[in-house]
Copies of this chain bind each other. A is one copy, B any other.
Amino acid sequence: QSSVTLWGRINTTVESQKVGAGDRKVVVANNASRLGFKGQEDLGGGLKASFALEHGLNSDNGAATGDFWNREASVQLSGAFGAVRLGRWTPGSYFATADYISNHNHDTGSSSDELYSFATFKQKNKVGYFTPTVGGFSGEFAVGAGEGAEPRSLDISGNYDQGPLHLGAGFSKVGSAKQFAVRGLYELGSIVLGAYVQREDMGTGANDSRTIARVSAMYVMGASEFHLNVGGSKAGGSIGSNGAKQYTLGYNYNLSKRTKVYGFYTAIDSTAAKSAGDFSSLAAGIRHNF
């Protein structure tokens, strides 16, 4: 037996939610809790083999989510050339943009980014190449097999880190649907500012495109973090595809590097008729990494 690392995160909130025109209700909510197994083998000459299995679970009711290893199931060979990976994992185009600036609770649960376009978010049956990091730059190039049942997918992303400046971009395409996004994040001492702009083309014909934008700000004071996220997208329709504003105010208190207690207020103001797509939540929770 080799050395396998078991890790994960339980992130649970108690929330007072208002969904659409419904009554306000109390909800115990999961915020992307997970359990993972990973390991690495040194093959000599700089070559390494590794695997990762990551399971998403509902920390509020104990349910496993759809595909059990729905966050990652991969095997990889890496070396000076970079890395080649096979299997299922989260698109790099998402990590490089929307996820990167979500400092508050990392784009999970009811305060997650409802506006970012997931139309081309492909996780399964992928082959990926990851560049080594050169001069602060790293990139990912992934192709998802359609397996005769759906269109081939493509996901290309890059990240650039130099001192306090962090830039990223992502492009993805599934059939005729595609999206492109750029992101920046800057550290000004105890202040961190981030933003992304995304252009989506759902490839379904007329009125199938939109622009999405979001800014985030974090102020760190000792163990406390103060967060503000504001995003918006024009054009009518459902939240899913377009037309809404969203903002989140958050406060985190870090009990340790692994554990925090936090609270937030998040609200989505949809352009849908009669507040059908509106949502707001006042929440308090615990996030524990292990």
Contact = CB atoms under 8 A, between A and B. Distances in A.
Interface of A: 1-2, 4-8, 10-14, 22-23, 25-28, 33, 35, 37, 39, 41, 43-44, 47, 49-51, 53, 57-64, 67-77, 86-88, 123-127, 145-148, 152, 255-256, 258-259, 261, 285-290
Nearest to A126: B28
A127 B13 CA distance: 10
A147 B28 contact: yes
Contact of A259 (B49, B71, B256): B49
Contact of A57 (B12, B60, B69): B69
Given A49-B286, A124-B61, A147 B27 contact: yes
A107 to B, nearest CB: 19
Contact of A62 (B7, B10, B58, B73): B73
Contacts of A69: 57-58, 62-64
Given A259-B43, A286-B49, A288-B50, A67 B77 contact: no
A290 B51 contact: yes
A60 to B, nearest CB: 5
B14 A286 contact: no
Contacts of A125: 27-28, 60-61
Contact of A87 (B62, B71, B127, B148): B62
Contact of A72 (B14, B62, B145, B259): B62
B57 A68 contact: yes
Contact of A127 (B14, B77, B123): B14
Contact of A290 (B4, B68, B71, B77): B4
A88 B67 contact: no
A114 B4 CA distance: 34
A6 B1 contact: yes
Given A62-B68, A258-B41, A1 B12 contact: no
A68 B63 contact: yes
Which of A37, A255, A288 gathers the greatest number of chain B CB atoms within 10 Å? A288
A22 B147 CA distance: 12
Contact of A258 (B2, B63, B123, B152): B2
Contacts of A145: 14, 25-28
